[in-house]
Structure 1
Amino acid sequence: MRYPPLQAPLLWQVYLGFWIAGIAAVEWLWPALCCALLLAFAEKRLWHTARLALAAALVLAGLGAAHWQMPREAQPPARQSGGQEKAPARICGTVRDVQGLPDNRLRVILTGVAPQPPELTPGGAGAAASDSSAGLPGLTAWTWEKPLLRPLAGQIACLSRRPRPVRGFANAGLADWGRWWLARGVQWQIWSRAERGEPAFFGEGSLSARWREDLRRAFLAALVAGTSGMSAAATPDALAPGEAARAEKARPAPCAEQPELPQGKAILLALLFGDRQYLSQSTLDNFAAATLVHSLALSGQHLAVAGLLSLLCVLAAARLHPELYLARPRAIWVVVAALPPAVAYLWLGNAPASLLRAVCMLFAMAFWLVRGRPCTTPDVLCAALLCITLVSPLSVLDTGLQLSALCVAVIGLCLPWLRRVLPEADAEATRLQIQGAWRRGGRWLLRILLISLLIQSALLPLNLLLFGNAGFWFPLNVLWLPVADLLVLPGAVLGLTLAATGLESAARVVLDLAALPCQWLTDGLSWLDVHGVLQNPALLRPHWTALPAFAALLAALAFKAGRPNPLPAARRLLLAGMALLCLGPLLRIAERFSGEMRVSVLDVGQSQAVAVRLPGHLRLLLDGGGSASPRFDPGRALTVPALTCNDAPRLTAVCNSHPDLDHMGGLLYLLRHCSVQALFDNGREGAGARGAEWAELRQALGSRVLAEGDVLTLGDPALELRLEVLHPPRLAAIARREPEEQLPGKENGKGPKTAKTAEEEARRAPSSDALPGWSGNDASLVLRLTRQGHGLALFTGDVERPALRRLLASGRDLRAEVLVAPHHGSDRSFLAAFYKAVQPRLVLASCGFQNRYGYPGPRLTAWLAKHGIPLLHTGQSGQITAIWPQDGRLRVSTARP
């Protein structure tokens, strides 16, 4: 392919942009419409009524096609009275796909899930009782932790589990991954562990799935056999799914515990098959932090193996028949010969969207080259995207396809500049033979570095928005990508070939050598992580307008390469990009001068995090969410990204109501990666390892203990904004503490003014003596936000009835317009007299969607409905924000309608 100065796209490629923008608008309406308008503004050829009408029609057609194909969110089944769920029914479905997940997990995609039919029931008995005999619409994603065997596509899987509708987390400015699942047709989810749910499998699976699984098992056996102290029989894969399925009832028997495959060898399995089952989550996190996780995704770089194989085949054929080069140039023969191995690799990798894009590009390139027409990277990319989106429009919403297509687009746009910055070696250098091979190798590595830098720069807004990763370690691509493409992947393919042909000893040697660079890389990343230099700091996540702004600026610079003067379209793109780039900072400035107050209950699942924003740009966080899962930290995945949405990672104060994991766990990440001026808590100690981490952070940050009677003055005293502490009672030993403290009105203040002696005594006091008779949930801080004495919001933590009765007996003013329900809205914390005393206009509850506790409780729900008080909870509405304008009444917004 030739790269003269970048030419304007063909008209059909411009129209393709409108079609894709229409599809994307089903999920991201305003960003997609902004990109479509930007394209129309830059492309002067569209400035005619007929062509503009066609562009608008394509946007509407894409939106209509995506809306028609997008499944609706599944509706949860009705619960029994009392909020209790029925016993799970026995269900069966056909296995459509199986994916290996880190930490020894499988994701099994099932289709046609329905109650178990009589023919699959022992003795021919009827199926288990179910709400309905009809099957579930759409696909079901079953996450199987510590699986006993690996199912095959085409088998029938049965287990006793209750499918739940797929639902992501809906927070302003964050992606809702539930919509990503819906775009793939998945409407339901199931979770099980080992033999729980009594999984059983019937049938032998499809022929293609059996062949693929035989290759994977042969490859895995060679990997395991080369590991000291392990044998192929020690793995659950030694239980052949086909053999188990031939039984009348194929229930997997308990087997040996899954061995921990060395991470270097686990990377080989992930690189070749896309199977991450043997990877640990920490290894995957380290790859993501080092900007190397893209190398584990099956994409275009994996087709380098197909290219090497085709080159060897063409060279060998040309030795035997040199006249081949008279018919077609060698480059065309190499591309055409790469098609069969590329299709084979597409089958082996189970056709993920990113790899499918690469194979389609290869076919488009071969088509153009055979016809003798020149083509560029943007040409073949547009052809591939046209084919993919016509067949499956919703694939536009696939993150893997988005990132891989954008990377290729950046490479195509930047190649003219690279040719100018790094021109080919001139004749004088060749004549002098100045270290020719080393010089070419250095230029090749420098080109990889520049391409990585350009890709990282162009995708910076998207990476920050989706992953919060600025990619500071992108230079590692220079070391890893050449090794992966030229040594590791060819070695893995050679090892697979040897293992499949029965040469296990030779395969073991080859795979051991191929795994060495992988092990060195994982060890190096672990060393960097242990020393605290690998993980990226929390950064400001830009406004979505930065995405089209960067795209416009990149395109404008690309069209300038090789031209003395930029094209008129490039000038328009440059102006539009600069204007869009200024929008985010302008919105931040307006935010700082805004006089409205906001209380946002974030959607963090079955936990709680409340963000408070006050005039003067005071930002407070009350609790940070949390989860017992070792792989999911709501603080890292939800709370910090929500707080840094078009804002700096700085908070005026953080307050923890009590150190239960669902309120404190997310604060561990936040306090390490964000700037916090003041930390407050109730003086209690947390349990377990995370409790010890919490104690260390409290000591390092100088946490202050709050108790009844304390008052925090928020910002300018003239505004009379206060945060009153109503519970728990004060320790007698520190009763002489001054009752009022002041928080700064600006983020660059030096911290709150406190009574230092009282605080020192509070921190030294043992928690068992600090709050006699109050512990656990009932020791939660109860805070009341007031303006000029008027109650705006009441935050109650997890207090239960004893603490609520004490609050009523104290005689304090509890009235507030908004009440964050105690203990996530549980009936155990419901006291009618307390709600009457608060007199809320709105009650908010932070709880998970379809949580197993039945929150919010039916008694609370019924009482509020009887008294006409609205109840909103995050499981249904996503993030809920109560807004008090400077001169207006309370209004409410939710992330979900």
Structure 2
Amino acid sequence: MAHDPPHDDAGRGVPPLLPWQPCLLAYGGGILGVEYLLPALLGLALLALFLGGLSPRVGPLKRAGPGLRPTGTKQIVALKKALELVKGRGMRPGLPALVAAFALGLGAGWLALPATPDAPPCLAAKAVTAVGRVVSVDPRPGRRLALVLDEVRLTGQDCANAPLPGRLAVTFDHPDLTPVPGDVLAATGRIRPTAGFANPGTTDFAFLRRLEGIFFRAYAKGGRGDLTRLATSDNPLALWRQALRDRVAAALAPPSAVSPATSLDDSAALAGRAMVAALLFDDKSGFAETDLELVRRASLAHTLALSGMNVAYVVGLAAALVLAVGRLMPRIYLRLPRPKLIVLAAAPLVVAYCWIGGGSPSLVRAALMFAAFGVMLLTGRDKALFDGLFLALAAFLIVSPLAAYSASLQLSALAVAGIALFWPPFARAISRIPGQGTLLRTLLVGGLGILWTSLAAEAAVLPLIARLFGDFAFAPWINLVWLPILGCLVMPLVLCGAAAAAVPGLGALAHTLLTAGADCCAWLMRGLAALDAQGLLTARAVLRPSAPELLGCYGLLAALALAVASKRPLPKAALAVSLLLLTGPSLTRGLEVFSQEVAVTVLDVGQGQAVAVALPGGQRLLIDAGGLFGSFDVGRAVVGAYLTDGRPPRLDMVIASHPHSDHVKGYVSLLDRFAIGTYLDNGGVPEGELGPALAEVFARRHIPTRSLAAGDSLNLGSGLALDVLHPGPDVDLSHNNGSLILRLTRNGHGLALFPGDAETAVLRKLAATGCNLQADVLILPHHGSSSSLSRRFYAAVAPKIAIASCGDAGHYPSAKVVEALARLGCPVLATKDNGAITVRLDGDGQVVGPETVRQGVFP
């Protein structure tokens, strides 16, 4: 007689969730709800639907004579299920428990989030001196240090030893001293409140700083006395770590071994040394931006960020040591099983690696996750990977609730979950491969295991990576070479080399080991360069899913994992809602194609300019792309992030008003990663290194280019046209007065005027010609500077609203400009106060808006 076998999720590969674990997810969602309430509530509802669809059903027990003695296989199975429910195994928390956990997380997050303080009045002065103790030192590419000071007090100007609320972030460019945590530093300069780029759907950098208690920022440059050390650190661990860094640096490149004609000219060799510093000390300052971009496009950036993978390498080294000892002393396994021995041997190495790596939050979280897995293993639950993951998450979120906002924690947890969910079917598949114990099978299984692990982890993190970074660089096959070399060769060499460097008298051994590790890294970088030369490394911008779409993706991934690993019926309601969340926003946005509205959005890009224009029929054009000094890529992190928020990375037309870096630097990465219809400019030569960088992208991507001049007109359809009013002949196209002046019209009516950085003389001359300048929206020329003040020009335009694209580094917009426009009844808004500003112009020419990200007025 056929009968139903016992349903064992664990045997089928579905990790059984203990009752507290879904509540932990709800608790984490509540913490995120402090900033993202609606998405968090949607996530809570989806979690409840999944749990409801998976709740075990226990049928009634049939009586067999007196009492409740079940008979038959079905009755025995029912009794086992009932006992599991009594013990709590397989029991799902109900909606009230999830709501309570969510509310608890909401409260914990709200209490942990630092309140935003008011700035001390004396900060209005041009320059003050801030004295504080160094909390952290983060080396950045381009010889730059990111310092965080605590217990800061202000002196100078009107500040008389006034305390600065919260912490101070100091960017130290080309440092002439090496600060250590615990040092007391004095930073002299202008101190400003932390600011992000307030654009819809993009990363709120100011909020991320707030999570760390950082509310103010300053800039210092080496060689001019901006930063001085008042007292050395009294932290012995920090001092020992810095001494070890100095010894490793000396062992890597001792002066007598450096030849200017050889290794220093070899960029791959320099990158190899930089990689050693990154793997040991989380120090990426030795990398060139081109090298880091190469690693990113190979989808290997995670290997340079000290986190779970690096801790896994350390644990692997401990495992190798245990196996070597076991070969020599087999009896050691009689005292303690090999897995537990590995955990105990790895524990001090992991602690030491956390210290060497500077105790970064991501590294500490990885170490705590290892500790959680180790505890599960030592207590006999060696198969409960999910239990260890949840135990680690519980520790993080209870001790530090705001860790829920950490992208590295989110990515690490998702990667582990993806591996745990999708590994069982792979394990069953490889168990059927014949040749147990042979070298060929071992190599085959090892290679497939690395590839499958990469695929499982990539599948789990890909939706979140798309949301966070807006890039797609999928090359898991590179991991087949990169990860074994990094884990089995490079990491043992550099770790042993660092250990030798710490011991006096072993400098020669340290030099040999560290140089060998650096050489291996150099060859890895050469390999990436060769692949890139063949066009095999590409990274393209992707649509950044909105919060509902992100939840829908993970709902479908969870359903896929259940389908692959279990015979249990899928929760239909949860699956339907996941599909709706994934497709609903796209369908809604698709309706915008039928709108006749024109939307002009001046993005917040700091001291620069980028204006996105949405046209009927789904067309989009971009006028300028911003650009800041330093290595921060505004095009990728700000402009590109805004443009891909729920929309594909495609622009029908991009325009550069003139070739200054604050207008065109952001185009370098946008042109490389977006689908571009046409690139238009004024014909000027981009300044500095921008010219060759743009030319290389044009040639490689085959982007059509064209230069515009006065008299040109671009037909945009639906009665829309973009008329070019300037420059004419005999104009210096490489400077402000060579800027394109563009007028967007609909059926002859002026909608918006874009004058670039044109200055007063050009604006007066243009107004004097009598040409039609009328426009409802005026993008203020030259960021609202007084050098572009022209009352006659303003009167000719007669704008209903004027917008200045500017940062807080200068006095923009000028008070004179604001006053002149106020006399015409035209309000002035600025991105530095209001964030991104959107004005909508409907089909009848009516102005709707403005819509701003934040409210703000000029003092």
Tell me which of 869, 873, 876 is aligned to 2:826.
869
For 1:67-122, what per-residue CA distance to the aligned partner results, in whole angstroms no more than 9, with x for missing partners?
33333456567799xxxx7442222110111122222222221111213xxxxxxx
User: Does the alignment pair 1:894 with 2:852?
Assistant: yes
User: Does the alignment pair 1:212 with 2:238?
Assistant: no
Q: CA deviation at 1:351?
A: 2.2
Aligned to 1:197: 225
Q: CA deviation at 1:580?
A: 2.3
Tell me which of 814, 839, 859 is aligned to 1:882.
839
Q: CA deviation at 1:496?
A: 1.2
Q: CA deviation at 1:277?
A: 2.3
> Does the 8 Å CA contact 1:172/1:642 hold for their aligned counterparts?
yes
1:797-816 equivalent positions in 2, closer than 5 A: 797-816=756-775
Aligned to 1:740: none
Aligned CA distance change for structure 1 residues 845 and 79 (closer, same or farther; 3 Å): farther
> Does the 8 Å CA contact 1:7/1:559 hold for their aligned counterparts?
no
Aligned-partner Cα distance in 1 for 2:199–2:545: 15
Q: CA deviation at 1:670?
A: 3.1
Aligned CA distance change for structure 1 residues 596 and 227 (closer, same or farther; 3 Å): farther
Aligned-partner Cα distance in 2 for 1:645–1:514: 41
Aligned to 1:574: 575
Tell me which of 35, 40, 43 is aligned to 1:35.
43
| Structure 2 unmatched ranges of 5 or more | 1-8, 56-90
Moved more, 686-695 or 27-36: 686-695
> Does the 8 Å CA contact 2:658/2:733 hold for their aligned counterparts?
no
- Secondary structure of 1:872 counterpart: strand
Aligned-partner Cα distance in 1 for 2:791–2:288: 49
> Does the 8 Å CA contact 1:46/1:52 hold for their aligned counterparts?
no
Aligned CA distance change for structure 1 residues 775 and 391 (closer, same or farther; 3 Å): closer
Tell me which of 407, 411, 415 is aligned to 1:399.
407
Aligned-partner Cα distance in 1 for 2:372–2:526: 40
Moved more, 618-627 or 148-157: 618-627
Aligned to 1:7: 15
TM-score, with length taken from structure 2 = 0.87
- Code of the residue aligned with 1:890 in structure 2: it is V
> Does the 8 Å CA contact 1:555/1:573 hold for their aligned counterparts?
no
Aligned to 2:587: 586
User: Does the alignment pair 1:541 with 2:536?
Assistant: no
CA RMSD of aligned residues (A): 3.2
For 1:469-519, what per-residue CA distance to the aligned partner results, in whole angstroms no more than 9, with x for missing partners?
212222211211122122111111111111111301111111222222211
Moved more, 285-294 or 539-548: 539-548
- Secondary structure of 1:96 counterpart: strand
Aligned to 2:302: 294
- Number of equivalent positions: 804
- Secondary structure of 1:218 counterpart: helix
Aligned to 1:241: none
Aligned CA distance change for structure 1 residues 362 and 538 (closer, same or farther; 3 Å): closer
Aligned CA distance change for structure 1 residues 698 and 799 (closer, same or farther; 3 Å): farther
Aligned to 1:748: none
Q: CA deviation at 1:809?
A: 1.3
Aligned to 2:162: 134
> Does the 8 Å CA contact 2:220/2:227 hold for their aligned counterparts?
no
> Does the 8 Å CA contact 1:261/1:278 hold for their aligned counterparts?
no
For 1:352-406, what per-residue CA distance to the aligned partner results, in whole angstroms no more than 9, with x for missing partners?
2322222222222333333334552221111111111111111121222222221
User: Does the alignment pair 1:413 with 2:428?
Assistant: no
Aligned-partner Cα distance in 2 for 1:224–1:491: 16
- Secondary structure of 1:36 counterpart: helix
Aligned CA distance change for structure 1 residues 784 and 149 (closer, same or farther; 3 Å): same
User: Does the alignment pair 1:267 with 2:293?
Assistant: no
Aligned-partner Cα distance in 2 for 1:186–1:884: 39
Aligned-partner Cα distance in 1 for 2:327–2:542: 57
Aligned to 2:606: 605
Aligned to 2:390: 382
Aligned-partner Cα distance in 2 for 1:292–1:402: 18
Aligned to 1:626: 627
For 1:677-710, what per-residue CA distance to the aligned partner results, in whole angstroms no more than 9, with x for missing partners?
3343333333334245557878975544434443
Aligned-partner Cα distance in 1 for 2:600–2:392: 46
1:778-797 equivalent positions in 2, closer than 5 A: 778-797=737-756
Moved more, 336-345 or 699-708: 699-708
Aligned-partner Cα distance in 2 for 1:402–1:354: 10
- Secondary structure of 1:527 counterpart: helix
Aligned CA distance change for structure 1 residues 507 and 643 (closer, same or farther; 3 Å): same
TM-score, with length taken from structure 1 = 0.83
Q: CA deviation at 1:463?
A: 2.0
Aligned-partner Cα distance in 2 for 1:556–1:324: 45
User: Does the alignment pair 1:552 with 2:561?
Assistant: no
Aligned-partner Cα distance in 2 for 1:425–1:696: 49
User: Does the alignment pair 1:62 with 2:105?
Assistant: yes
Aligned-partner Cα distance in 2 for 1:227–1:566: 68
Aligned to 1:757: none
User: Does the alignment pair 1:111 with 2:111?
Assistant: no
Aligned-partner Cα distance in 2 for 1:316–1:464: 43
Tell me which of 803, 807, 814 is aligned to 1:844.
803
Aligned CA distance change for structure 1 residues 494 and 2 (closer, same or farther; 3 Å): farther
1:225-374 equivalent positions in 2, closer than 5 A: 225=254, 228-229=257-258, 262-308=270-316, 310-311=318-319, 314=322, 325-326=333-334, 328-373=336-381
Q: CA deviation at 1:831?
A: 2.2
> Does the 8 Å CA contact 2:606/2:806 hold for their aligned counterparts?
yes
For 1:691-744, what per-residue CA distance to the aligned partner results, in whole angstroms no more than 9, with x for missing partners?
45557878975544434443333213xxx2232333334xxxxxxxxxxxxxxx
| Structure 1 unmatched ranges of 5 or more | 116-126, 236-258, 730-769
Q: CA deviation at 1:295?
A: 0.9
Aligned-partner Cα distance in 2 for 1:309–1:707: 65
For 1:538-580, what per-residue CA distance to the aligned partner results, in whole angstroms no more than 9, with x for missing partners?
33333333322221122112223343x33343x4443333222
1:461-610 equivalent positions in 2, closer than 5 A: 461-501=463-503, 502-530=505-533, 532-563=535-566, 565-569=567-571, 571-610=572-611
- Secondary structure of 2:134 counterpart: strand
Aligned to 2:61: none
Aligned-partner Cα distance in 2 for 1:556–1:620: 39
For 1:262-307, what per-residue CA distance to the aligned partner results, in whole angstroms no more than 9, with x for missing partners?
2212211211221222222222221111111111111222223543
Aligned-partner Cα distance in 2 for 1:645–1:453: 25
- Code of the residue aligned with 1:790 in structure 2: it is H
Aligned CA distance change for structure 1 residues 507 and 467 (closer, same or farther; 3 Å): same
- Secondary structure of 2:253 counterpart: helix
> Does the 8 Å CA contact 1:6/1:561 hold for their aligned counterparts?
no
- Secondary structure of 1:542 counterpart: coil
- Secondary structure of 1:892 counterpart: strand
- Secondary structure of 2:394 counterpart: helix
Aligned-partner Cα distance in 2 for 1:701–1:322: 66
> Does the 8 Å CA contact 1:820/1:844 hold for their aligned counterparts?
yes
- Secondary structure of 2:665 counterpart: helix
- Code of the residue aligned with 2:152 in structure 1: it is V
Aligned-partner Cα distance in 1 for 2:462–2:105: 27
